[in-house]
Amino acid sequence: MAATLALALAAGCATSPSHAPVVERSTPVGDPPPERYVVQPRDSLYAIAWRYGLDYVALARWNGIGPPYTIYPGQTLMLAPEVGVRAGRPARPAIPRTPAPDVRAEPSVPRAEPETQAARRTVTPTAPEVRTPGVPEPAPARPAKPRDPVKPATRPTAPESSPPAPAPRQAAPRQQVAGTPGARWRWPVDVQPERGFGGDNKGVDYAVPAGRSVVAAAPGKVVYSGPGLAGYRHLVIVEHGGGYLSAYSLNADPEVGEGADLGAGARLAAIGGTNATDGRFHFEVRRHGSPIDPGRVIGR
């Protein structure tokens, strides 16, 4: 019996995995976002929109918030457009319609009959021609001989000039793919990613060795620097214009604060420590709230 029990335990150990797979996600996965959200301390409109996959401009519009999108703890935000419309826009009062004025028929005035053409025409009588006896009648006048028409002098025609040669076309300026004018995008770290964009991953995952730096992918402004999401200690969100945002989920302390203007390549944090989780880094690019493949805006 002891031998049988030992064989059973050995078989159970052989079929059990050594460790459970861990999947990092940038946002919580579960139920859809609620219709309302109560602002917590250290929240920002950008972070709330990022957490629920919303466009921060639309979120601000639904709640009647203008730039610089300031919110306060305890404030209730609407996270759906129809809720925002119902809550933020009162119903328009009905405009009373005024009845049309009573127009009474005026008595018609009889018109004078129009004068006839014969009545308007004035006829003047002419006196009869009186001839004197013995005086010959004048000969009828001869009609004047028509002269040859004078031909206009012809001017020498100038030789036709050839049309001017078209100006050479100039090459159209290369349009930037994302962000502010002149923006140049780059990868935030110089290591190969562990996991790329696609599937349930909304960005790119890295395992960054200690001593490496995480830098801004493009010029922009830091609009959030605070507690992280989905297991990361810190989150930095940078706005680049044109509806583009980039986010950096870190387990290292960020070196930038909200409101800082950054150039491409500005250092956001330095990866350090000996713990393997300290080097975990997640990078995302979104436009109008929708995640996009960072390779679409970053030159390879």
Task: Please report, for residues 84, 127, 153, 155, 163, the alpha-carbon distance to residue 158 in angstroms, rounded to integers and kept in the order given.
Answer: 74, 65, 15, 9, 15
- Of 92 and 238, which is predicted with more confidence? 238
Over residues 236-286, the pLDDT tens digits come to: 999 999 999 999 999 999 999 999 999 999 999 999 877 778 899 999 999
What is the average per-residue pLDDT within 126-135?
53
pLDDT of residue 218: 96
Return all residues near 252 (Cβ < 8 A) that are at least 6 apart: 214, 234, 269, 270, 271, 272, 273, 278
Share of the chain above pLDDT 90, in %: 49
Instruction: Tell me the pLDDT band of 299, cut-offs 50, 70 and 90.
Output: confident
Q: What is the structure's pLDDT at 142?
A: 64
* Phi, then psi, of 11 in degrees rounded to 5: -65, -40
Residues 241, 189: contact at Cβ < 8 Å? Answer: no
Look over the chain and give the mean of its residue pLDDT values, rounded to a whole number. Answer: 74
Write down the pLDDT at residue 244: 96
In a domain, 160, yes or no: no
Domain membership of residue 265 (yes or no) is yes
18-74 per-position pLDDT tens digit: 333 333 334 444 457 899 999 999 999 999 999 999 999 999 999 999 999 999 999
Q: How high is the pLDDT of residue 272?
A: 82
Provide the number of structural domains found in the chain. 2
Which structural domain range is residue 73 located in? 28-88
Of these ranges, 88-97, 135-144, 179-188, 189-198, the one predicted with the greatest mean pLDDT is 189-198
Question: Does any domain span residue 7?
Answer: no
* pLDDT at residue number 153: 55
Look up the pTM and report it.
Answer: 0.60
Comparing 172 with 283, the larger pLDDT belongs to: 283
- Determine, yes or no, domain membership for 112: no
DSSP H/E element including 267: strand 267-270
Side chain identity at residue 233, one-letter code: R
Q: Is residue 243 part of a domain?
A: yes
User: Domain of 72: which CATH number?
Assistant: 3.10.350.10
| pLDDT at residue 182, rounded to an integer | 57
Q: Are 29 and 61 in contact (CB under 8 A)?
A: no
Q: What is the mean pLDDT of residues 118-140?
A: 52
Inter-residue contact 249 to 228 (CB < 8 Å): yes
Per-residue DSSP letter, 56: H
Does the pLDDT of residue 133 top 90, yes or no? Answer: no
On whether residue 229 sits in a domain, the answer given is: yes
Rounded to whole angstroms, the Cα distance separating 300 from 290 reads: 22
**What three-state secondary structure class fits 13?**
helix
When mean pLDDT is compared across 6-20, 162-176, 192-206, the lowest value belongs to: 6-20
* Domain presence at residue 182: no
Does residue 14 lie within any of the structural domains? no
Q: How confident is the model at residue 92 (pLDDT cuts 50, 70, 90)?
A: very low
Provide the pLDDT for residue 109.
Answer: 46
pLDDT at 79 > cutoff 60: yes
Dist. CA 197–CA 203, nearest whole Å:
5
CATH code of 260's domain: 2.70.70.10
Q: Among 88, 111, 140, which residue terminates a domain?
A: 88
pLDDT at 175 over 60: no
Instruction: Identify the pLDDT of residue 60.
Output: 96
Average pLDDT, integer, range 162-190: 62
pLDDT at 118 over 60: no
With pLDDT > 70 as the criterion, what percentage of the chain qualifies? 55
